[in-house]
Amino acid sequence: MSAPDPEVVELATKIFDLARQGDAQTLAAYVDAGVPVNLTNDKGDTLVMLAAYHGHTEAVRALLARGADANRANDRGQTPLAGAVFKGEDGVVRELLAGGADPSAGTPSALDTARMFEKNELVELFEAR
């Protein structure tokens, strides 16, 4: 197997950084230009996972609008929704739910994470779905 093209690696690194930084417009432009919306890094984190974990509601919205999988777990079984619950990003939680995220998906699930951290309002929200 040949080594990945350094320019491709550099571009992918830049795109993952955009997700972490929440640059919704630039991320959307890259996806619109052909970057896979469910691109994953070496840990299995998608762009939406990185944007969600870092609390970037607009970036999450832009990625979901372009078909990002709201339930795609990383290599550790964590979903974007569970990450947003863990980080206390309620706006991202609501955006992911609107985008079809399943509170029961992943290990631990977003529901389990909400219970663990006694976020009762989220437990009620998830159980009502």
pLDDT in tens, 26-61: 999 999 999 999 999 999 999 999 999 999 999 999
Residue 3 has pLDDT above 90, yes or no: no
For the chain, the average pLDDT equals: 95
Among residues of the chain, what percentage have pLDDT more than 90?
89
Domain ranges (residues) in the chain: 6-127
Q: Which residues pair with 46 in a beta bridge?
A: 40
Asked whether the beta carbons of 38 and 66 are under 8 A apart, the reply is: no
Element (H, E) at 112: helix 110-116
Under CATH, domain 6-127 is a member of which superfamily?
Ankyrin repeat-containing domain (1.25.40.20)
Residue 4 has pLDDT above 80, yes or no: no
| 8-state DSSP, 40 | B
| Mean pLDDT, residues 110-121 | 96
For residue 52, what are its two tokens?
A: 């969600």
Element (H, E) at 41: none
- Global pTM reads 0.93
Q: Which residues lie closer than 8 Å to 20 by C-beta, 6 or more apart?
A: 50, 51, 54
Q: How many CB atoms lie within 10 A of CB 72?
A: 18
Q: Which residues lie closer than 8 Å to 94 by C-beta, 6 or more apart?
A: none
Question: At CA 74, angle to CA 28 and CA 125, rounded to 5?
Answer: 80
Q: What is the pLDDT of residue 28?
A: 97
Q: What is the pLDDT of residue 1?
A: 63
pLDDT in tens, 78-96: 999 999 999 999 999 999 9
Residue 129 has pLDDT above 90, yes or no: no
